[in-house]
A and B are shown apart, each in its own frame.
Chain A
Amino acid sequence: MVASPKNFPLIAELLAEQQRLQTPVAQFATAHDAGVSFVPQLIPLSLPGPGEQYAFEVDLDSCTGCKACVSACHSLNGLDDEETWRDVGLVVSPSRAHPFTQTVTTACHHCADPACLNGCPVLAYEKDPITGVVVHLDDQCIGCSYCVLKCPYDVPKFSERLGIVRKCDMCHSRLAAGEAPACAQACPTHAIKIVTVQSNVGRSATSGVDTSSFLHAAPDPSYTQPTTRYISSRPLPENLVAADATTLRVQPAHWPLVIMLTLLPAAVGLQIASLGSASKLSTLNAQLLPLAAAAAGGLGLLASVFHLGRPLRAWRIFLGWRKSWLSREAMVFGAWFPLTVLAAVAPHFSQLSRFNFQSLPMVTATIGTLGLVCSAMIYVDTRRHFWRAAQTFPRFFGTALVVAAACLAPLAAIPLLAFKLALESRTFFFGEVSARLQRGPLARAAVARDLCGLTALVLLTAAPVWLALAPLLAGELAERYLFFRAVDAPKMPGVPSA
């Protein structure tokens, strides 16, 4: 006989009981003394003086790798489920004589010369003039993620939910109240402390800290002057390697950027072509080129909007022009696009003929070229090897020049494209991370890129230009896709993962 609610009332009773919680006023809720637990030995007793700032100090001898710091930071700061501002990795010495493994806890290094801050187009990062804490302004952030590319330690984390980046602020409001940061509070062996270190915060161009206590096996500290000190009573082996050093990490594609950075160079290329079109153009209408340039430029800039997590805040993008190539790029292309549209439409409107637009194509092409310099510098400025100037400039300008050449004299485009392909293929070889990525998980994209390029080469020899342009642009799109996905993104030591 199957039991039923009638003959088996205990089921309903226990199901109801299961849902009953003790309320705060119920029997056991014990309110504890209000008041803050002060842990003096974990934080300095006085504020940093001139030429000083706060820094994390990690005692490697005490760190056992329990990782409570990560969880505590996550819980006490109320971060999203997947979000962590601190991470724990592992470094290993391959030495036979001295077996050595060491867990390493890292958060933001609150650098003396923060790359995130320097790159931010809207000045959403501020370095506190007294404490030196690098603070992120969440309501200022436009979600461009450029700081994620700039930071060599993989510190800023993009939140899909919020459309912005967030990061460790050293719990500066806890510090202000005399409380230790969440991670330091939670370390069972007090391995994490806040200390005062020498740092010329905002005082001179040659700002700097003593980075001799920074970790081997971490990215070169000379770039951003990280302030975290990793100390140990025993000398650490010189040849430490990160346990995840060989883990291949395919980077995000950033499709809006792939599209933008294919179409904008193409647009500039079309403008360059239009300069020479009066005399040399044979196959394409001289009036079509500026229109095509405006269309490509418009689509490219439209795509870029989709890259931003918070596009409505992007009107502030000019703020960072002093240091940020992204800010500069936005300003230059922001000026370029209306002129490009004007250059495209002016010949079609006789009312406008009383203005002299003869120099406009030259002006737009020049501004566009300047914009491409900014675009390339955005990536060069991250100091990632794959994005070095010797690769980035030929790639971005290569697209523009090949498109220009294809429109003017297809045969001239052949050596240009061949040279570009050869230059790219250099990155397929040697043991570099980018090479392994392009030969491994990204091999299909790499093959597709070359097939498109070779098809374009063949078609350029005989076929009509419009037929060659299709594989040419597809190939450039694939090349830009690889540009983002195959980059060697530096980070602090982690743990092996798939």
Chain B
Amino acid sequence: MIPPLDELLHARTGPMTADMVLHPADFGLGRMPARLQPAATTTSVCGFCSTGCSLRIHLNAAGEAINLSPDRDHPVNLGMACPKGWEALTPLAAPDRATTPLLRESKSGALAPVSWERALAAFTETFKGIQQKHGPHSIAFLSTGQIVMEEMALLGALFKFGMGGLHCDSNTRQCMATSHVAYKQSFGFDAPPFTYADFEESDALIFIGANPCIAHPIMWQRVMMNQRSPEIVVIDPRATETAQAATLHVPLRPKSDLTLLYGLAHLLVARGAVKMDFVKKHTNGFEAFVTFLADFTLDRVAAETGLPAATLHRLVEIITTRERVSFWWTMGVNQSHEATRTAQAIINLALMTGNIGRPGTGANSITGQCNAMGSRLFGNATSLLGGHDFGNPAHRDKIADALGLDPARIPEKTGYAYDQILDAIDRGEIRALWVIATNTAHSWINQRHAQEILGKLDFLVVQDMYATTETARMADLVLPAAGWGEKEGVLINSERRLGVVRKVARAPGQALSDFAIFQLVAEAWGCGGMFRAWRTPEAAFQLLKNISAGQPCDFSGIRDYEHIAASGGIQWPFPNSVGAQSCCALSEYEPGPQQDCAPTLIRQRRLFTDGRFFHADGRAKFLFDPPRPMPELPDAAYPFILLTGRGSSAQWHTGSRTDKSAVLRKLAPTILTMEIHPDDAERLGLAAGDQAEIRSRRGTATATTIVTATVQRGQIFLPMHFDAVNRLTFPAFDPHSRQPSYKACAVAVTKG
């Protein structure tokens, strides 16, 4: 039959058209192309940031992930995700995945594929040999906030209880150590008190050193859903995307935040705006704090922060007149030379104004990595498993009992922090290092020095999805790891919500989950018997759940992974029996649909609703210290302050995963860009698009100029994702949290 002329001339159908035609899909997914129709779906919590978005993974009939979309039913993300989440499966298929163990050949000096048997033998023989020669504590590991809780716990337990090591830390030192210490000292436990609904229920949201538009887009979505016409205040030296969307931007001088916060406290006291009944009933140390504040006069604070007095009054006005005030901080606070006291100055403001334990309030630390909270509780580095103390014999006995160990195997003290481990390598005290899912050679402050130090090791093991990271390329042994989506386990998000990740893709070649690798190392080391109960991640979860019992983070009431998934994640505390040893009042649970049903969990829960904190006396502490100047001030030779931060929501940290997605690569600048004020640019003869050379006392970087008044005069901004940036940064650390101060150092800028 001859087709009608129009059909012949206009090919409106055909294979290419059919390829893109959308058909209604099952599982509430709306219309999808035929080739992407899922046979089933499952949910998995995203493995990038700490927001903890639930992603609905689309599976084919073989159970393999073919696509994903955000989970509409999840209380965290409400059907939304940022581009990293949308692209979460793409990095798994990258061509440079590590597919076999690689061992550096002594002859050629190159990394060559070896069997797992050979790799494990090399690992155990070398580590044991170094321990015999240099002592049991001459080995160390640096781990991550990017793997599941069960893996972190097994690693920490294996290393300290099985291998006899002491010094270990993780990259959460770079992001969350400050919040951990600040909360622990102030509240008695590392306990972020908020739930995401507080974004929506607040009358005033005060962001300090936080840029959620870029860093946590889905949290910003919750802010935008706030129906209470809130004041949104952003305290940040730079007019960030969030600051531009705020109702008030407070462009203070870099690292003057502690002074500002004390100044605000001083004004609140002077104004008589302190909620004395709350302070008297639930806190300690307020009188001493008031005495301390006397020095922070309006004039001094205005002079040191560079802010007009009117701005300070406006801030105090907002804090006193709005009923529900919430304070939110991120890396601008945590990465500072006086970070812990700054975080606690925020906590102090919330305590003295009674803005805690009520909807829309709180001193709230927004976490960085997807499982930084898991690492804080179960990394077994600073705290013994489950937020216990190594120094407490009762705690050691409890853990030994729960794991069926000899208590003597548990060290009585904590080991070195990240920077101290690197220093010990520098001194020759630590000779072997095991790096798991982090990229020290790129991300550590004063990067060149860190690379030199790594070069001094007798043996460097890197366990990663990719053998191509800056650190893996330096390794003597590379262990190929399965990634997010190729394994199971639990992540804990910013609001203490446990979520499950699923195995929906096959790991390439011989890559194994970190959990399996730790099991193999235990077996090869000869201490496998100690970890027989850690058969699977879910078996390990049952152990950890028991360990958590009686702690503020008690989640012993969770049945299993399915319970978590079916509940849309479960926030800790979730103790075994409601009301027994519970940190939250009974009102936190509502009855089930029928009276005889078990209580149903309220999906959004916050801490301290009863005003009881985790110190033995139930009171929170006011903690403070005089501010200190930033360690490297600008001078004639290095007149600019370098600010760093996230540059784009399409990039994650050192880019080892996000750079693998063509879509994400398109969405972020592919070249390092420098933001500089128009006046400075004019003075230096720099026009938009010009190459600029940025020098610090430690290194040099080249960047393309963006001229914008979003940065103040005398300051420049560089996004942290490019490896040149940490060649410049100055190695200063908070004395309490040992967190590096990435955000401010002195640099010089010239036309390149």
**In the complex, per-residue mask of A7-24: 1 if CB is within 8 Å of any chain B CB, else 0:** 010110011011111111
Are B39 and A64 in contact, with the CB atoms below 8 A? no
Q: How far is A2 from B21 in the complex, measured between Cα atoms in Å?
A: 56
User: How far is it, in angstroms, between the C-alpha of A413 and the C-alpha of B83 when the chains are bound?
Assistant: 59
Is B519 a contact of A71 with CB atoms below 8 Å? no
Within 8 A of A (CB), among B223-268: 224, 239, 241-242, 244-245
Which of B40, B504, B520 has the largest number of chain A CB atoms within 10 A? Answer: B40
| A36-B30 contact given A64-B245, A186-B70, CB 8 Å threshold | yes
Whose C-beta in chain B lies nearest to the C-beta of A163? B16
Q: How far is the CA of A101 from the CA of B504 in the complex (A)?
A: 39
A28–B562 touching, CB < 8 Å: yes
| Chain B, range 86-122, C-beta contacts under 8 Å to A | 86-87, 90, 116-118, 120-121
Contacts of A11 in B (CB 8 A): 116-117, 120, 520
- Judging by beta carbons under 8 Å apart, are B649 and A67 in contact? yes
Task: Please tell me if the beta carbons of A76 and B32 are within 8 angstroms of each other in the complex.
Answer: yes
Which of A82-90, A269-277, A290-298 faces chain B?
A: A82-90
Q: Within 8 Å CB of B120, what residues of A?
A: 3, 8, 11
Q: How far is the CB of B1 from chain A (nearest CB, A)?
A: 19
Task: Please determine whether B10 and A28 come into contact, CB atoms closer than 8 angstroms.
Answer: no
Query: Is there contact, CB below 8 Å, between A245 and B689?
Result: yes
Contact with A along B69-82 (1 / 0, CB 8 A): 11011000001111
In the bound complex, residues from chain B placing their C-beta under 8 Å from that of A99 are 239, 244, 708-710
**Stretch with Cβ within 8 A of A (4 or more), from B317-325, B328-336, B350-358, B670-678:** B670-678
A342 to B26, CA, bound (A): 63
Known: A32-B28, A179-B30. A101 touches B62 (CB 8 A): no
Q: State whether B671 touches A497 (Cβ < 8 A).
A: yes
Q: Which 4 A-B pairs have the closest CB atoms?
A: A246-B689, A139-B14, A24-B40, A71-B86
Q: In chain B, what residue has the closest Cβ to A316? A: B9
Residues of A within 8 A of B79 (CB): 37
Binds A, one of B214-222, B376-384, B450-458, B620-628: B214-222
A residues less than 8 Å from B707 (CB atoms): 92, 94
Q: Which residue of B lies closest to A13 (CB)?
A: B516
| Complex partner residue of B704 from A70, A100, A496, CB under 8 angstroms | A496
Contact partners of B28 in chain A: CB under 8 A: 32-37
B669 and A138 form a contact (CB under 8 A): no
A96 CB–B CB distance under 8 Å: yes
Pairs across A and B, CB under 8 Å, 9 listed: A2-B117, A2-B118, A14-B516, A17-B516, A29-B59, A30-B41, A64-B245, A99-B239, A100-B710
Taking the complex as formed, is B31 at the interface, i.e. its CB lies under 8 A from any CB of chain A?
A: yes
Asked if B241 contacts A65 (CB within 8 A), the reply is yes
B31 contacts A179, C-beta separation under 8 Å: yes
Return the contact of A96 from the options B11, B24, B73, B709 (Cβ within 8 A): B709
* A427: interface (CB < 8 Å): no
Query: B643-680: which residues lie under 8 A (CB-CB) from chain A?
Result: 648-650, 662-664, 666-671, 673, 677-679
A92→B709 CA distance, assembly (Å): 10
- Produce 1/0 per residue, A62-80, CB < 8 A to B: 1011111011101111100
A162 contacts the other chain (CB 8 A)? yes
Contact of A138 among B17, B214, B504 (CB under 8 A): B17
Complex-state Cα separation, A61 to B709, whole angstroms: 19
Number of A-B contacts (CB under 8 A): 292
- Among B9, B214, B670, B709, max chain A CB count under 10 A is at B709
A189 within 8 A of B: yes
A139 near B22 with CB under 8 A, answer no
**Residue pair B14, A21 in contact (C-beta under 8 Å):** no
As a 0/1 sequence over residues 253 to 269 of chain A, the CB contacts with chain B under 8 angstroms (1 = contact) are 00000000000000000
Which residues does chain A contribute within 8 Å of B524, judged by CB atoms? 3, 8
Residue B447 CB within 8 A of the other chain:
no
Q: Are B67 and A75 in contact, CB atoms less than 8 angstroms apart?
A: yes
For residue A345, CB closer than 8 A to chain B, the reply is no
Of the listed residues B22, B245, B523, B708, the one surrounded by the most CB atoms of chain A closer than 10 A to its CB is B22
Contact of B10 among A96, A97, A137 (CB under 8 A): A137
B83 touches A140 (CB 8 A): no
- Chain A window 158-188, contacts with chain B (Cβ cutoff 8 Å), 1 for yes, 0 for no: 0000101010000101100101000001111
Counting CB contacts under 8 A, is B184 at the interface? no
Is the beta-carbon distance between B17 and A139 smaller than 8 angstroms? yes
> Is the Cβ of A68 less than 8 Å from the Cβ of B17?
no
**B10 touching A140, Cβ below 8 Å:** yes
A66 touches B679 (CB 8 A): no
Collect the chain A residues with CB atoms within 8 Å of residue B82's CB. Answer: 66-68, 71, 188
By beta carbon, the residue of chain B nearest A92 is B708
A388 to B331, CA, bound (A): 52
Measured CB to CB, the residues of B under 8 A from A are 9-17, 19-22, 24, 26-28, 30-33, 35-36, 39-43, 56, 59, 61-64, 67-70, 72-73, 79-83, 85-87, 90, 116-118, 120-121, 213-214, 217-218, 220-221, 224, 239, 241-242, 244-245, 482, 486-487, 502-507, 510-513, 516, 519-520, 523-524, 528, 561-562, 565, 648-650, 662-664, 666-671, 673, 677-679, 687-689, 704, 706-710
Of chain B, the residue at the smallest CB distance from A88 is B667
Q: Are B33 and A78 closer than 8 Å at their CB atoms?
A: yes
Pair A185/B42 contact, Cβ less than 8 Å: no
Check B117–A24 contact: CB distance below 8 A. no
Within 8 A of B (CB), among A213-271: 241, 243, 245-247
CA distance A164 to B14 in the complex (A): 13
Contacts of A196 in B (CB 8 A): none
What's the least CB distance linking A256 to chain B, in Å?
A: 22
How far does the Cβ of B178 sit from chain A's closest Cβ, in whole Å?
26
- Chain A residues near B679 (CB-CB < 8 A): 96
Known pairs A29-B40, A74-B663, A99-B708; A24 contacts B63 (CB<8 A): yes
Residue in contact with B121 in the complex, picked from A2, A33, A75, A94, CB distance below 8 Å? A2
Residue of A nearest to B64 (CB): A21
Q: A21-B63, A23-B62, A496-B673 are in contact. Are A138 and B20 (CB under 8 A)?
A: yes
Chain B neighbourhood of A10, CB < 8 A? 519-520, 523, 528
Nearest neighbor of A246 in chain B, beta-carbon distance:
B689
Question: A66 near B213 (CB under 8 angstroms)?
Answer: yes
Least CB distance from A476 to B in Å reads 33
A:90-125 near B, CB below 8 Å: 92-101, 103, 123
B650 engages A95 (CB within 8 Å)? no
Q: Are B20 and A61 in contact (CB under 8 A)?
A: no
Check: A40 CB closer than 8 A to any chain B CB: no
Of B14, B561, B688, the contact of A241 (CB 8 Å cutoff): B688
Please tell me if A26 contacts chain B, counting CB pairs below 8 Å: yes
Give Cα A179 to B35, complex, Å: 20
The reply to whether B503 and A22 contact each other, CB–CB distance below 8 Å, is yes
Residues of A within 8 A of B507 (CB): 18-19
User: When chains A and B are docked, how far (Å) is the Cα of A173 from the Cα of B82?
Assistant: 25
A78 and B689 form a contact (CB under 8 A)? no
Q: Cα distance A99–B251 when bound, in Å?
A: 12
Q: Is the CB of B666 within 8 A of A84?
A: yes
Q: Which residue of B lies closest to A436 (CB)?
A: B689
A64 to B649, alpha carbons, bound, how many Å? 10
Knowing A14-B516, A76-B32, A77-B33, say if A186 contacts B81 (CB, 8 Å). yes
Q: How far is the CA of A22 from the CA of B10 in the complex (A)?
A: 45
Q: Does residue A409 face the partner (Cβ distance < 8 Å to B)?
A: no
| CB-CB under 8 A for A71 and B663, given A2-B121, A28-B42 | yes
Q: Are A139 and B20 touching (Cβ within 8 A)?
A: no
B22 touches A173 (CB 8 A): yes
Nearest B residue to A14, CB-CB: B516
Tell me the minimal C-beta distance from B719 to chain A in angstroms. Answer: 11
Neighbouring A residues of B217 by C-beta, 8 Å: 64, 66, 68, 188
Contact assessment for A245 and B688 in the assembled complex, using a CB-CB cutoff below 8 Å? yes
Nearest neighbor of B53 in chain A, beta-carbon distance: A188
